Chain A
Amino acid sequence: MKSTRRTFLRNSAIVGTGLIFAIDLRSHAEAEASVEFSPNAFIQIQTDNTVRIWVTRSEMGQGVRTTLPMMLADELDADWSQIRLEQAPTIPRFKGIRLRTSGSGSTEGTYNVMRKAGATARTMLIAAAAEKWGVEPAACRAQSGMVTHTSSGRSLSYGALAETAARQSIPENPPLKDPKDFRYIGKPMKRTDGPAIMTGRALYGLDTRISGMLQAVMKRCPYIGGRVLSFDARKTMAISGVRHVVPIKSGLATGVAVVADNTWTAMKGAEALDITWDSGPNHNFNSDIFLQEMERAVGEPGFFVRGDGDAEKALPRAARQIDAIYEFPFQAHAPLETMNCIADVRANFCEIWAPTQTPTTAQEEAAKMLGLPLDSVKVNVTLLGGGFGRRLFVDYAVEAVELSHAIHKPVQLVWTRSDDMRCGFFQPPGIVRISGGIDDQNKPLVWKQTSVGCDLSMFGFPDEKALADPRHYFNDGSPWGAFDNPYNFPHLKAEFVRRNSPVPTGPWRAVEYPAQVFARESFIDEMAYSAHQDPLDFRLELLQPGDVLAIGDQKIDRARLIGVLELAAEKAKWRDVRPQISGRDWGRGIACNVYDQDCFIAEVAEVSVGKTGHDIRVHRIVCAVDCGRVINPLGIEGQTESGITWGLTAALHGRIDFKNGAAIQGSFTDYGVIRMHEAPVIETYIMPSEHAPGGFGETAVPAVPPAVANAVFAATGKRVRRLPLTSEKLQATTLARPL
């Protein structure tokens, strides 16, 4: 940055969820020379009125490059058309500020920070105008990028005030707006990157090009934990345009990289490699057998998750008992943009361009590998062509660093679709057994659940000391969906039995909820049927008296869950007579969930099933959400539609199998995902709320598979308990109730 355009950045740091702004590092002389105004890391106001806003979270479709600037611009009273977005790289400016994007936490985690950042600047701009005019700040107001002296009508633009504003003292607690005065927050705002996306100008990781860059593709070991024994690169090196062949050991699926002038040549070169693999210690691993082992473990005593009343004693005394086992298989993330990363390793510096959810981890790992100080590694975050949790791990970035280091050139390492499907992290499977008891008045009495599941290997397995604590998983609030089961049973017991496989596992959209919520919401339906009650009424009864459930460190407001259940039911006309479709059975199903105590959701699915072909069509899903104060209603609608479609893939198609230590599915032909002709009508209804805003990137996912399975049951009388819910499985399922 040239000295004439120097900005006077104040050191800012964020500790926990609070924030500390504005340790003023300016010398008096610097302040005199300032022509731009940058009171904190997030904003810079230029003399030409441009408001630069740095986005500190990764955009992967969830809308952070729209919502975060909305929060800031609202408090800044900025003119939206003057805003220019920058993506925060790992540079000292952002030290101490979280750049990781995960856990649906961006809205919740930045709401106060962005607002305060904007309010700080607004307060200083008003002070600057007051100083220029020799009036009281209280006599001035800010609006749309201008400060106006109310009584005289004089006004100055933010750009004209930037220099004077930079000399103002930074307010410790700038006044925040009354929500009724919000100008952007709560109003529909279209995606800021839309025009760039629609003209092909938006740059994802794969689209980034740097000077002198080569392209690389790896041939990867198909076996989990396997490695290269030996390789012959003669055929590869004979291909015109191939530059280097380098074994790569640092990532998750090791192998041999082919570096070439362009991607196609690298792919061709990788294909031509002759590699002998050591299939490693897991070549006997089969997921079918692993799932059977998990299922056998449902009888084992497990870690404490919930214990209200005395389920063990009460269950045998219940007038009626039912029992079921549910299965959720391995899943892939399969974002449409495959993993990729550019690394440019120099003698004392490394620069990375990556579509990553966690640039600071990439920075740390690269620095560690290269023996460089942290500040000698800079990570630039591109747009992400989908994230869904996969890009929380930096294996693909570390590989690119290893490769660039080996060839002394900048290189872009591109994963093929098959690499992406077979060689990454997976959503682990879950087996859940639930036993329920109903009393002689048809009231729900007992819930006894054993969840068999995996630890996420990405976070490292818990050590012996942690596992010696029978409340280890409870203390973690895990498994999500079993731990925070919102229903009010007199006797409720839940345990967790851990079973780990060699398959690398990590967070997938909604993390632990999908497997648990599929079981829980399916079983609630089974109990309702057994108790001769309507599934909606049965749920509402189990949430009475609409109180707050305190469990561990969570507080779950059952009244808010009741609210969305009633809203979804009303909008879906739950109690209406079901339509008759010739040749098909039609049914409605309902399911609900609370995501991390913040977001409440209820979904009603309408399906029909062919009487002869057993083909399942999901016609419509009606969804009611309460996610606290809404920043961007268009964003909530989009994430509802997105989460529901994601959940539908899990409901109807998604499944990864492993045979002899390798993933079987390798593309979108065998890992089916929802496409246009299967996409249902999705209706989103948002409950107005003054509660703190909750994150919404994942909330809509978990309720979909059970809502669909419950609707299929309503249509056919057949209960499918193992996902995905295919017509073959439906055909093979016996009738659970007379139609």
Chain B
Amino acid sequence: MSTFVLSVNGTDHHLDADPEMPLLWVLRDLLYLTGTKYGCGMGVCGACTVHEDGRAVRSCQVAISATKNKRYTTIEGLSADGNHPCQRAWLDEDVSQCGYCQAGMTMAAAALICETPNPGDTEIDAALSGLICRCGTYQRIRAAIHRAAASGTKA
């Protein structure tokens, strides 16, 4: 066990953890931020996507020991009141079905439109094809990203 300072959603958390523990489990089991989901634990489904200094990363592939001096954002911290353009667009397009993958999808999309304010379909494919939705809401996710991009990226 080692001690870490982890910055999540603007707060520094002081934690004792196994250095190998993936950020995913730190968030879920130590900080009780369960919005970030476990889907595969091997970086192939994207359900655990969070922001690391604004970039989308798989939290199951980031060990706590590698988080020093980095700032993380999870779905709980994407906006203060659920008003990020992606969150709003997701509701407007009625995207979610079971909803389990949507936190990861939203975080990936939010990072995309931050980097590429008006992404085309090819860019959406490239940014999101690493994520899985078993309910098959892809068409609505695509529409929501276009809608969010059109509404501006300000949270």
What does the 1/0 interface line of A380-405 toward B look like (CB < 8 Å)? 00011111100000000000000000
Q: CB-nearest residue of chain A relative to B86?
A: A198
Please state if B29 and A200 are interface contacts (CB–CB under 8 Å). Answer: no
- Min Cβ gap A60→B in Å is 5
- Min Cβ gap A674→B in Å is 7
- Min Cβ gap B31→A in Å is 11
- Min Cβ gap B1→A in Å is 6
What does the 1/0 interface line of B69-93 toward A look like (CB < 8 Å)? 0000011100000100001001100
- Whole-angstrom CA separation of A203 from B20 in the bound complex: 27
**Residues on the A chain within 8 Å of B100, using CB:** 204, 335-337, 385-386
**Residues on the A chain within 8 Å of B47, using CB:** 336
**Residues on the A chain within 8 Å of B115, using CB:** none
**Residues on the B chain within 8 Å of A62, using CB:** 97
- Whole-angstrom CA separation of A62 from B34 in the bound complex: 22
Please state if A194 and B75 are interface contacts (CB–CB under 8 Å). Answer: no
| CB interface residues, B 92-140, toward A, < 8 Å | 94, 96-103, 106, 124-126, 128-140
A676 interface hit (Cβ, 8 Å): yes
Given A61-B135, A675-B131; A206-B34 close (CB under 8 Å): yes
Please state if A336 and B138 are interface contacts (CB–CB under 8 Å). Answer: no
Please state if B90 and A336 are interface contacts (CB–CB under 8 Å). Answer: no
Please state if A634 and B94 are interface contacts (CB–CB under 8 Å). Answer: yes
Please state if B40 and A417 are interface contacts (CB–CB under 8 Å). Answer: yes
Please state if B25 and A193 are interface contacts (CB–CB under 8 Å). Answer: no
B5 interface hit (Cβ, 8 Å): no
| CB interface residues, A 618-649, toward B, < 8 Å | 634, 638, 641-646, 648
**Residues on the A chain within 8 Å of B142, using CB:** 676, 679
- Whole-angstrom CA separation of A703 from B75 in the bound complex: 37
Please state if B30 and A385 are interface contacts (CB–CB under 8 Å). Answer: no
Tell which of B34, B36, B44, B82 has the most Cβ of chain A within 10 Å.
B34
- Whole-angstrom CA separation of A63 from B87 in the bound complex: 19
What does the 1/0 interface line of A43-69 toward B look like (CB < 8 Å)? 000000000000000011111000000
- Min Cβ gap B116→A in Å is 15
Selected contact of A215 from candidates B29, B35, B96, B97, CB within 8 Å: B29
Please state if A676 and B138 are interface contacts (CB–CB under 8 Å). Answer: yes
| CB interface residues, A 154-209, toward B, < 8 Å | 190-191, 193-195, 197-204, 206-207, 209
What does the 1/0 interface line of A644-666 toward B look like (CB < 8 Å)? 11101000000000000000000
- Min Cβ gap A701→B in Å is 10
A262 interface hit (Cβ, 8 Å): yes
**Residues on the B chain within 8 Å of A60, using CB:** 98
B54 interface hit (Cβ, 8 Å): no
Please state if A200 and B22 are interface contacts (CB–CB under 8 Å). Answer: no
Selected contact of B137 from candidates A414, A416, A417, A641, CB within 8 Å: A641
Please state if A198 and B21 are interface contacts (CB–CB under 8 Å). Answer: no
- Min Cβ gap B121→A in Å is 9
A677 interface hit (Cβ, 8 Å): yes
- Min Cβ gap A170→B in Å is 36
- Whole-angstrom CA separation of A641 from B140 in the bound complex: 9
Please state if B138 and A645 are interface contacts (CB–CB under 8 Å). Answer: yes
Please state if A641 and B139 are interface contacts (CB–CB under 8 Å). Answer: yes
- Min Cβ gap B26→A in Å is 8
Given A61-B135, A263-B29; A194-B37 close (CB under 8 Å): no
**Residues on the A chain within 8 Å of B62, using CB:** none
For chain B, the count of residues having a C-beta within 8 Å of the partner chain is 58
A673 interface hit (Cβ, 8 Å): yes
Q: CB-nearest residue of chain B relative to A190?
A: B94
- Min Cβ gap A58→B in Å is 10
- Min Cβ gap A210→B in Å is 12
Tell which of A202, A267, A414 has the most Cβ of chain B within 10 Å.
A202
Q: CB-nearest residue of chain A relative to B33?
A: A200
Tell which of A59, A383, A386, A681 has the most Cβ of chain B within 10 Å.
A386
Please state if B134 and A336 are interface contacts (CB–CB under 8 Å). Answer: yes
**Residues on the A chain within 8 Å of B32, using CB:** 209
A338 interface hit (Cβ, 8 Å): yes
**Residues on the B chain within 8 Å of A190, using CB:** 91, 94
A81 interface hit (Cβ, 8 Å): no
- Whole-angstrom CA separation of A620 from B76 in the bound complex: 35
- Min Cβ gap A419→B in Å is 11
Given A264-B25, A673-B134; A61-B98 close (CB under 8 Å): yes
Selected contact of B25 from candidates A204, A240, A262, A634, CB within 8 Å: A262
Q: CB-nearest residue of chain A relative to B77?
A: A200
- Min Cβ gap A405→B in Å is 23
Please state if A338 and B38 are interface contacts (CB–CB under 8 Å). Answer: yes
B18 interface hit (Cβ, 8 Å): yes
- Min Cβ gap B75→A in Å is 4
- Whole-angstrom CA separation of A309 from B74 in the bound complex: 65
Please state if A191 and B98 are interface contacts (CB–CB under 8 Å). Answer: no
Please state if B131 and A676 are interface contacts (CB–CB under 8 Å). Answer: yes
**Residues on the B chain within 8 Å of A193, using CB:** 96, 99
Q: CB-nearest residue of chain B relative to A265?
A: B18
Selected contact of B37 from candidates A201, A209, A385, A387, CB within 8 Å: A385
- Whole-angstrom CA separation of A204 from B97 in the bound complex: 13
- Min Cβ gap B85→A in Å is 12
B28 interface hit (Cβ, 8 Å): yes
Given A240-B18, A264-B29, A668-B44; A199-B87 close (CB under 8 Å): yes
Given A61-B98, A265-B18, A676-B142; A417-B30 close (CB under 8 Å): no
**Residues on the A chain within 8 Å of B42, using CB:** 417, 667, 669
- Min Cβ gap A715→B in Å is 22
Q: CB-nearest residue of chain B relative to A196?
A: B99
Tell which of A199, A384, A634, A677 has the most Cβ of chain B within 10 Å.
A199
Given A191-B94, A262-B29; A386-B139 close (CB under 8 Å): no
A241 interface hit (Cβ, 8 Å): yes
Please state if B99 and A197 are interface contacts (CB–CB under 8 Å). Answer: yes
Selected contact of A336 from candidates B101, B106, B125, B129, CB within 8 Å: B101
| Subset of 8 A-B contacts with CB under 8 Å | A61-B96, A190-B94, A199-B76, A199-B87, A204-B37, A335-B98, A641-B137, A682-B139
A-B pairs with lowest CB-CB distance, top 3 = A200-B35, A645-B136, A61-B98
